Amino acid sequence: MELRKYVSGILEELREKGEDALRDCMRRFDGYTGEMFPDSQEWAESEAVEEVDRNIFERVIERLLDYHQHQEKRGFAYLKNGSLFGLKEVPLSRIGIYIPGGMPLPSTLMMTAVPARIAGVEEIALCTPPVQGRIPTPILYLAKRFGIKEVYKIGGIQAIAAMAYGIGMKRVDKIFGPGNAYVNEAKRQVYGDVGIDSPAGPSEICVIADENANKEFILNDLMSQREHGKDSKAWLLTPSTGLAAFCDNGQIEISVLDSLEDCVRKANEIAPEHLQISVNNPLKYLDSVINAGAVYFGEYTPVPSADYFLGTNHVLPTGGTARFSSVLTVEDFGKKIAFASLSEEELIANRDLGIRLAAIEGLEYHAKSLAARTPRKEGER
């Protein structure tokens, strides 16, 4: 409750006082008083990324493109009884991407920018807190790589407010990207004024494994997500007491269950961000998994491969929201618009449906709108 109230107060201050409050927050929270965006020298110096890292970025981008380009747009149109019906897909006009401070996260920028560009988003504003007054070189290099010209040295609550309310920049349509508790609460509170991807929480991993699994693999996989932060969660579900004992280090929640089927049922109750199934013939459990952000099968598909180079997106629902939310896809960077064109004949043949429903709902002019459209006499336009 205190977090909610605190964030609400900062957002209100920013909304009321605009750019003056934004610069004050940048000073108070980011310790930065310079220009809001990189100068020409910083952009030029972003080319200093080592060749080996450029090659790494390009290989990862290629894998992301390969996977996300399969997410075809699903608009449609059809004719029936002389009438036209359809659904068109259009990209969002302008989005904001937030990259947390501290260590640079080029993987997150790639995971959001690739599907955005595939969807056809034209304008992207990128916000990230400066490190010693500068945007981390890998972030600025990738921004240039994706044609992102708007990069702002703004972090935290104030970055979310700037993008949502158009403070110091043109407002965006939807905000993407992870952050700390303050950022996520800010995203939750600005939702409605602007769209958001999801209120991301601490990282999660759930591993289903049996006695055939490589114990070292499993322990390292579980601990990989724990190192995202002290609030990160790791679950091991297994019928093997030996594996359970090997992984019992006090940082992993372990359940020893009677069967692998019981393990899958338990995983569906947890609805984890990442679900890893390391058993013989793991794909046979795919149909049984109904609640997970993403599922990784076999001992050679550890979650860190998805964090970095697998090609699937690592922006996933957390905190049990995989019960009703999905992995980030190209579709999240667009919207759907219904369209229709009724023929005169079909309107006349079916208007009684609307007239009666309007009467039931007590909406007089709904009924009149339909009733006024009588069949045209021969020769009338």
Active site residue 273: yes
Q: What does the alpha-carbon distance between residue 213 and residue 219 come to, in Å, rounded to a whole number?
A: 10
Q: How far apart are CA 60 and CA 168, in angstroms?
A: 33
Q: How far is CA 183 from each of CA 65, 193, 201, 209, rounded to the nearest angstrom? A: 28, 16, 10, 35
Residue 98's nearest CA partner among 168, 12, 192, 172 is: 172
- DSSP secondary-structure letter at 154? -
Tokens of 42: 């910083």
- Tokens 């700390």 correspond to what residue? 180
Q: Which of 42, 204, 274, 314 is catalytic?
A: 274
Could you say which of 42, 185, 204, 273 is catalytic?
A: 273
Helix/strand/coil for 351: helix
Q: 251: Cβ–Cβ under 8 A, 6 or more apart, which residues?
A: 223, 226, 234
The dihedral region occupied by 147, where left means phi > 0, alpha psi between -120 and 50, and beta the remainder, is left
Among residues 165, 119, 114, 123, which one has the least CA distance to residue 142? 114
CB of 115 closer than 8 Å to CB of 142: no
Tokens linked to 198: 């999801």
Q: Which residues are catalytic?
A: 273-274
